[in-house]
Amino acid sequence: MTTHNTIAVSVEAMLEDLRTLVEVESPSRDLDALRKSAETVAGVIEARLGGRAVLVESEGGPHVHWSGGGTPRVLVLGHHDTVFPLGTLARRPFLVEDGRATGPGVFDMLGGLVQAIHGLAGLEDRSGVEILVTADEEVGSLFSRALIEERALACGAVLVAEGAADGGAVKTGRKGCGTFEVSVAGRASHAGLEPAAGVNALVEAAHQVLDIAALARPEIGTTVTPTVASAGTLDNVVPAQATVVVDVRVESADEKERVESAFATLAPYLDEAVITVKGSVGRPPMPESAAAGLFAVARELLPGLEGRAVGGGSDGNFTAALGVPTLDGLGAVGGGAHADHEYLLVGSMAERARLVAGLVDAIRSA
């Protein structure tokens, strides 16, 4: 077993690969951009680790899968899609300055991918290791979930290269999360001549928003947040349609069931209004029990490392829900995910790369 602190990694080489990935923009759902991104990720993996990185086609874009051969023991999991539209790079190019790397996707999560790849490159023996880099994590992993679950079960342990929590903490628990869309169908009429002849979908939606928001139980970690609403066509027409989008986060399976049931049984206040609900808590909660064993190993490798349960979801939610040991937040140390001020701390890159390598070695030696 290699002593993880002796693993040679080059920060300069990592930054070179990070620039390569950032400069190939990869917004979710843009299939042409995602293909170029997947090919670029595969190229970096093959250049640093050897072997062949296979593109796995899907309706959400190509995923990238690499295996070091031998019996699968550990899956390194990440994604190459980002939330930023094409053209963001022109406005916010890749830059390294004052100990920070900036640019679209550096923290979420291209930096973590690069660190993991370079950490593995420092291992003489790469057998038993698989890397899976998916194309649709930022939009719910609809077309990658089955593959993620298959490889997680085959490997038996998962290291998620998502960005670290504040201060560099790894993520030992995550909330389950999902999106609901509540549509209201009413009936249009002239707002001045015969308002009573209509069924006001906006008024109905207003009632529903208050009921929906009341489903939250923040004291036990359940947040239910109406986030986007639309209704109406003209200022003198009773609205016939309204839509409300709601973000939901839960810490337990019981709360997932309670909230989903409440959405399924929403009832209209206005006569003749019709309510339709789409959505679910698509990512199950990631219980801290799933990370406990791997977190203990990580703390032996990096004394003082902190672990934290967080509200955001990742593909680690799926693997942890299967009972597969999963440790998340092993990627970049930085912040500003999904924001214009997104950044990665260059000074932490080598340590995080070695941490991933050390965990892989420890898992294979167990």
Would you please indicate which residues are annotated as catalytic (active-site) residues? 81, 137
- Phi and psi at 160, nearest 5°, equal -100, 125
Residue tagged 């960005």 (tokens): 163
3-state SS class at 19: helix
| 229, two tokens | 């609403």
Tell me which amino acid residue 172 is: T
Which residues lie closer than 8 Å to 28 by C-beta, 6 or more apart? 34, 60, 61, 81, 82, 83, 135, 136, 138, 139
Which residues lie closer than 8 Å to 10 by C-beta, 6 or more apart? 118
Asked if residue 310 lies in contact with residue 165, where contact means CB atoms within 8 angstroms, the answer is: yes
Asked if residue 138 lies in contact with residue 33, where contact means CB atoms within 8 angstroms, the answer is: no
- Through-space distance between the first and last CA atoms of the chain, rounded to whole angstroms: 11
